[in-house]
Amino acid sequence: MSDKPAALLTKTQRDRVDNDFQSVDGAKRRRDQQRIRRRVAAGVDDFAHLVEYPDEQLEAAFESSDDEHLVRALADMRVASERIRLLHGVEHDEVLRRARTRAQTAECRDRSVSELAFRTEDEIRRAVTAELEAEYEPDDWKRRSELALKAGALLALPGVSLIPIPYGAIPLGIDGALTFVALFFAGPLLAFGLGILLLRSIRDDIVPGMRAFGTDPVGTIRRLWNRV
């Protein structure tokens, strides 16, 4: 008796699938096709039991397989499962939602089960949008900086607009008032806003860049060069 474990398909069945049943015809061909259909359907049902299979057993089952073989096998399994889904008109998101529910209700609570994450395309899109909004949403200091720059520019604009006008063409009272506003109100506001931008730039760009350069100088320079 052979020590080789039973697979989903027998060797003969694999050969006939590979050559598209060209070696048989008629009733034998139809009989073999029916047997394979039954084995495939029964084999798929076995995954309900494998969901509860312990991590150590799943890991040990493939300990003799190299990464290339395992990746190829998982890819083939993914293609086959997607073909079955498409042929039967099952929505992709429905499969993901059911998989998430199955993982959450599984009695097996090993590490691999707890690390599973099934998200639909809509859920991924909403999560990415929320992350981008959170990343680029201005904080309190950025709002203050923008407000100070806008207010400073608005207050400085009248005084700056008088620069091209010859001296004496504007009454000294108006000229002096506008200069006073520009120097004592607009100037501090602009300095405050620019100072905040400078500090944020140091915190968010310069300091991380220096840390990256200290860790990987060549890689940091290469990334900067590619950006330019």
| Global pTM exceeds 0.85 | no
Together in a domain, 45 and 98:
yes
Query: What confidence tier does 1 reach under pLDDT thresholds 50, 70, 90?
Result: very low
Does 5 map to a domain? no
Domain boundary among 103, 128, 153: 128
Q: Tokens standing for 172?
A: 């000294």
Does 1 map to a domain? no
pLDDT digits (tens, 9 = 90+) for 79-89: 999 999 999 99
Angle formed by the axes of helices 140-161 and 187-201, nearest 10°: 140
Together in a domain, 36 and 121:
yes
Domain boundary among 78, 104, 128: 128
Does 2 map to a domain? no
Long-range pairs for 8-15: beta carbons < 8 A, 24 or more residues apart: 8/39, 8/40, 8/43, 9/36, 9/39, 9/40, 13/39
Largest pairwise CA distance in the chain: 113
Together in a domain, 85 and 19:
yes
Together in a domain, 97 and 20:
yes
pLDDT of residue 10: 86
pLDDT digits (tens, 9 = 90+) for 103-161: 999 999 999 998 998 988 888 888 888 777 666 666 777 788 888 888 888 888 776 66
Side chain identity, residue 36: I
* Domain count across the chain: 2
| Rounded CA separation 91/85 (Å) | 7
| Rounded CA separation 142/139 (Å) | 5
Together in a domain, 20 and 119:
yes
Question: Using an 8 Å Cβ cutoff, are 95 and 85 in contact?
Answer: yes
Domain boundary among 128, 153, 187: 128
Does 4 map to a domain? no
Domain that holds residue 56: 11-128
In angstroms, the Cα distances linking 192 to 74, 151, 155 are: 58, 11, 14
Together in a domain, 108 and 35:
yes
